[in-house]
């Protein structure tokens, strides 16, 4: 029996993606200036960044990065448990734990690594991980790699989560969910899920990558917004690369669980620590996020303004109250067409297509930042409306010629 050709396989996969308008293109940004970016010689107003609070270029954050780099160098040099754990890492972990209101925090190189660490360190072959069907890919992959049984319930359906847990009575159980869903922008029913987890003796883990900094008192996230304690949500993920504008992640929560992760989690033990300078920058960003309430106030004013203007021109939105505002397009080609028209008018909004979202659910993922203005949002909505009208006209012509 002849062995299959890997070149033929990847070529076939490429052709299939191209035929379905699902090729992904990497764009190079040559300069960033607030909400504006330079791409291919053009300046575009960026509406697809996760820099929700506008902290990635804040002068205090950048100064902290530069000052620490001049003293401590550019790299993390080793894993935390060898010689890579710096006093700046320690200070950042303590600041995050204090902010979120948890006993301890543990830094990771990324949110993807953190999710792998949590699930793999706590679950094994005889255990179950019950997840929302629209959870981030890192949570799904974590369960698969852990070897536990993965059970997925319909989106936001706490009754479905209850059924899945009751159908898996043996071993340990984890109920894992995004706090804010990255593609739809909606918020998990955390109070109901906490009750489901308690009744079924499951550990509730919340990936709050898109909630921390944006939701809750002092920006403490969706768990705090739901008024849940560490006892109810023993572990949660805080990303450092979205509202905080930096890079990396932290898992916060119960001290014994955090210690177990530090002792056993392979993505923690066997990887280099983030650079101390990056920890210093994020430490400055956390302090700003905690205290500058006006950023969240402005952000939510902009969200309301966008939804009002979008409704006026008949854009189809999902019911999101967060900075993630999906404009539904349905067809992949239509999403690409609208995105291209919007870019021609000076705005950058990525077209999100399967497999990132389900088939038939392609969209423009508009993300808002405290750096934007109402006038800029008006221009964006007008551009999307024109792009929609152009795409509809093209579809009518194609149908006529068919």
**Residue boundaries of the structural domains of the chain:** 29-53+293-401, 59-291
26 is in an annotated binding site: no
Query: In the 3-class helix/strand/coil scheme, how is the chain assigned residue by residue?
Result: CCCCCHHHHHHHHHHHHHHCCCCCCCCCEEEEECCEEEECCEEEEECCCCCCCCCCCCHHHHHHHHHHHHHHCCCCCCEHHHHHCCHHHHHHHHHHHHHHCCCEEEEECCHHHHHHHHHHHHCCCCCEEEEECCCCHHHHHHHHHHCCEEEEECCCCHHHHHHHHHCCCCCCEEEEEECECCCCCCECCHHHHHHHHHHCCCEEEEECCCCCCCCCHHHCCHHHHCCCCCCCCCEEEEECCCCCCCCCEEEEECHHHHHHHHHHCHHHHCCECCCHHHHHHHHHHHHHHHHCHHHHHHHHHHHHHHHHHHHHCCCCECCCCCCEEEEEEECHHHHHHHHHHHHHCCEECCEECCCCCCCCCEEEEEECCCCCCHHHHHHHHHHHHHHHHHHHHHHHHHHHHC
CB 138 within 8 A of CB 159: no
42 is in an annotated binding site: no
- What distance in Å separates the CA atoms of residue 174 and residue 257, rounded to the nearest whole number? 13
400 is in an annotated binding site: no
147 is in an annotated binding site: no
Q: pLDDT tens across 335-383, in order?
A: 999 999 999 999 999 999 999 998 999 999 999 999 999 999 999 999 9
181 is in an annotated binding site: no
Q: pLDDT tens across 146-192, in order?
A: 999 999 999 999 999 999 999 987 899 999 999 999 999 999 999 99
24 is in an annotated binding site: yes
pLDDT of residue 23: 84
- What distance in Å separates the CA atoms of residue 357 and residue 134, rounded to the nearest whole number? 8
CATH number listed for the domain at residues 59-291: 3.40.640.10
85 is in an annotated binding site: no
291 is in an annotated binding site: no
Q: HSE-up of 198 (CA within 13 Å, CB side)?
A: 12
Beta bridge partners of 180: 187
CA separation (Å) from 22 to 16, 17, 122, 356? Answer: 8, 5, 36, 10
Count of Cβ atoms closer than 10 Å to residue 19 Cβ: 9
356 contacts: CB under 8 Å, gap ≥ 6: 183
Tell how far CA 218 is from the center of its chain: 19
pLDDT of residue 24: 85
- What distance in Å separates the CA atoms of residue 269 and residue 264, rounded to the nearest whole number? 7
CATH number listed for the domain at residues 29-53+293-401: 3.90.1150.10
- What distance in Å separates the CA atoms of residue 377 and residue 71, rounded to the nearest whole number? 41
pLDDT of residue 330: 84
Beta strands 128-132; 149-153: pairing state: parallel
Beta bridge partners of 136: none
CA separation (Å) from 240 to 48, 75, 324? Answer: 17, 17, 17
Q: Which of 266, 90, 97, 111 is nearest to 182 (CA)?
A: 111
pTM greater than 0.85: yes
pLDDT in single tens digits along all 402 residues of the chain:
778 899 989 899 999 988 888 888 888 999 999 999 999 999 999 999 999 999 999 999 999 999 999 999 999 999 999 999 999 999 999 999 999 999 999 999 999 999 999 999 999 999 999 999 999 999 999 999 999 999 999 999 999 999 999 998 789 999 999 999 999 999 999 999 999 999 999 999 999 999 999 999 999 999 999 999 999 999 999 999 999 999 999 999 999 999 999 999 999 999 999 999 999 999 999 999 999 999 999 999 999 999 999 999 999 999 999 999 999 998 899 999 999 999 999 999 999 999 999 899 999 999 999 999 999 999 999 999 999 988 888 778 777 777
């Amino acid at each position: 029996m002849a062995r299959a050709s890997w070149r033929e396989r990847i070529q076939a996969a490429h052709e299939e993606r191209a035929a379905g308008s699902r090729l992904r293109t990497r764009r190079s940004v040559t300069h960033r200036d607030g909400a504006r970016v330079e791409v291919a010689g053009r300046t575009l107003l960026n509406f697809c960044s996760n820099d929700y609070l506008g902290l990635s270029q804040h002068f205090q954050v950048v100064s902290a990065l530069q000052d620490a780099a001049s003293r401590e160098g550019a790299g993390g040099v080793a894993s935390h448990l060898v010689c890579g754990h710096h006093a700046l890492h320690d200070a950042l972990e303590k600041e995050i734990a204090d902010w979120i209101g948890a006993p301890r925090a543990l830094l990771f190189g990324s949110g993807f690594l953190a999710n792998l660490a949590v699930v793999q360190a706590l679950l094994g072959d005889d255990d179950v991980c019950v997840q929302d069907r629209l959870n981030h890919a890192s949570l799904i992959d974590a369960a698969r790699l852990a070897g536990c049984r993965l059970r997925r319930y319909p989106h936001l359906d706490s009754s479905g989560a209850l059924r899945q847990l009751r159908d898996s009575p043996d071993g340990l159980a984890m109920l894992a969910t995004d706090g804010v869903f990255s593609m739809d922008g909606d918020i998990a029913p955390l109070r109901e899920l906490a009750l489901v987890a308690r009744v079924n003796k499951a550990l509730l883990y919340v990936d709050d990558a898109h909630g921390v900094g944006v939701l809750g008192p002092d920006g403490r996230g969706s768990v705090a917004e739901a008024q849940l304690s560490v006892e109810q949500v023993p572990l949660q993920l805080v990303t450092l690369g979205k509202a905080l504008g930096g890079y990396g992640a932290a898992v916060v929560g119960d001290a014994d669980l955090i210690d177990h992760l530090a002792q056993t989690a392979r993505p923690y033990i066997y990887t280099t620590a983030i650079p101390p300078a990056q920890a210093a920058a994020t430490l400055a960003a956390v302090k700003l996020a905690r205290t500058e309430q006006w950023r969240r106030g402005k952000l939510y004013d902009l969200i309301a303004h966008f939804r009002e203007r979008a409704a006026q021109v008949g854009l189809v939105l999902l019911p999101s109250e967060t900075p993630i505002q999906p404009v539904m397009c349905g067809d992949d080609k239509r999403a690409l067409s609208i995105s291209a028209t919007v870019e021609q008018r000076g705005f950058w909004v990525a077209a999100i297509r399967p497999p990132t979202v389900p088939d038939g659910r392609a969209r423009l993922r508009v993300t808002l930042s405290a750096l934007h203005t109402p006038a800029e949002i008006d221009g964006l909505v007008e551009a999307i409306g024109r792009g929609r009208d152009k795409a509809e006209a093209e579809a009518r012509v194609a149908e006529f010629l068919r």
